[in-house]
Structure 1
């Protein structure tokens, strides 16, 4: 099934379209979805930012996984299919041949880009690409208030991706084991950012597109810990840093790291460290900072 550039520019799914202009379009997608086998009459780039996107294409029908560290370029008229779990977030960029010809004349030869993308390729998602992707999607959510700025950011993201394809290494396909390790890394990062919250395994499974059982087995095999044990370690480490570096009351420290009370923090800390929060504070070099909560 052909999904033409004109069809992409007329995309009506709410929240998908970031920008669409003459020869260029950008779309953001969040949550579970699946696109059956199809092709475009333009080049497509897929840039995950959270979770994993599975990509199959006629050059590699067994499929590969795209995670936050890499993006894919699929040439025009190359059949492919994609699917993602509930927690996946990615941006898709589309560029017609006329758009690429215009960039070639304005910015310099794209011969190396065309040579490297005769078949679908995977390329490293660099900090520059990540920053521009964040700006482009921020603009889509109303961060800059002007459609012209949004289009400019989307074009800048496309140009940076093209530059990375020409100058950076072409990456190998991600194996199932590598995908598992990437998933664990994303899980650890997410749990660490939300360590003060109760995170049900079912919610993690929905966010990252994997079953509760798969996450449990994968996480323990990679870390030697359950998800709950890892979260407890993060909470206690954060508590130690707050105790040693601030004058916050122990009850406030407990609240900030996810414990119901100072007593609950004390019990957990004595069980792991063999000492109370007060003893941890006395033994730590002090770095006094404001004890007020952020507004």
Structure 2
């Protein structure tokens, strides 16, 4: 027998970020600019890494995947919000809501795991430089990227299957600008204990565990850097890692606040503010963080632009 969808709600209403209609024009302009910058910045990084053979290394391979994930993460949420503001329609169908939630968790988990993978790459490069090419083989790099794609897909699908069994028979208004897990669980009029337990388990696996691994990696990295005899060598090593630490702070600082803090501490305003950070601000800033202080990336971008101008 086919399982029945017991939900009596055919659509949800995304209340968005603005409390007053006058604020929506400003939000539309702000998020439209953020999305354009995010798309252009991340796609340029992917193109620069693809075209420049000097950047065909594990570090830039992971960076290209992170840029792809950041672009997809922003694309999953911001365009829908912009359309809702433009059309004055805040509704989203039940299947579309679940689809958006699936891809949000899919790319969100990928983002978290990839940042941890990049910290491991920096750990090997600084603490074991002589064995770097041997350890970070193409096979291992493929596994470190392909594994998270499969794992993220499985976890996201499980979230959706657990959500599909719930009944929504009360209010259909979501105090958010996209279909996130925690606001939807509050709307259900059935027992959500299984969903909440699974959320905590997943948060421990894809947020807490990678974050602890990152802290351990950088503790070893700092110890190794302090042993470098020359001041220039220490400065170069710190410069290489500072951009990654900035991304770690932005990404994990917001997600930990949403998924690991007690529900009594979280509010709808805090959840929306954190969501703006990891769906809009962080994907927009990542290209600048990784390119502004990276000579190789700046050189590759200049070559890419010069090639486009020449071909034109």
Q: TM-score by structure 1 length?
A: 0.21
Higher strand share: 1
Which has more helix, going by share of residues? 2
Higher-Rg structure is 1
Relative contact order (alpha carbons < 8 A, sep ≥ 6): 1 or 2 greater? 2
